[in-house]
Amino acid sequence: MNNFIVGISTGNKDVEMSAGEIECSVLNSEFINQCNEHGAQVIILPQQQITSINLKGIDGLIVTGGGDINPEMYNQIPDETIERVDNLRDSTEINIFKTAEEMKIKTLAICRGHQLLNIYKGGTLYQDLEKAGFQDIDHQKPYENARKHIHEIKIEEDSKLNAIIGNESIEVNSIHHQGIDKLGKDLKITAKSPDGVIEGIETTNEWNAIGIQWHPEYLDDESTNKIYNWLINS
């Protein structure tokens, strides 16, 4: 194991403990296992009310998936499809992005994190893909399908993601009902699904960050291995 340290954001969940039901910071252990397998140590970054997030000592960052982002973050009124909003998580991870950009920490943003990266840079979301007209592919597959390849994505040739994965198309899983609409500042689109949903973005400034709409932590495939190698070993 090397000295590379990955900071990973967490969500909160009510957990039954000896003192009753307690709200806890939770992280899918798949993230820890995959980082360890690629030689990195992990530090968990929980939700907190501190606005100035200190990431000193962290070499790489993963901002993870989870519930919907409050549409008020991108100046929209929440519709009836919005679920599992956590305002403290939204603000914590925005502050994590801010510090990561200031410190130029290599960042991998996954699913919700991919969407929040776009919001952090001034972009917006489709609150529900099906309502927005994306109906050719069922992006909101049941969670039990998280470990399956659901649809193909096309990767832009001139992109970090293409350089990382080395292919112009791969198969990915899909467990989301929202997607990127208006693209934020200093970002470019790097991948789309066949129906036009944005599946990958990356920064165009000095901050080395990529966002992906799928969940590599659930997949044991070549592209997942290459993404973790990019984050930790490149």
Short-list 2, 29, 45, 38, CA closest to 231: 38
Helices 87-103 & 112-120 angle (0-180, nearest 10): 70
List the catalytic residues. Answer: 111, 215, 217
Let me know: does 172 contact 150? Beta carbons within 8 Å. yes
Short-list 129, 182, 131, 118, CA closest to 151: 129
Q: In sequence order, which residues have a C-beta less than 8 Å from that of residue 33 and are 6 or more positions away?
A: none
Cβ burial of 91 (10 Å; 0-12, 13-18, 19+) is middle
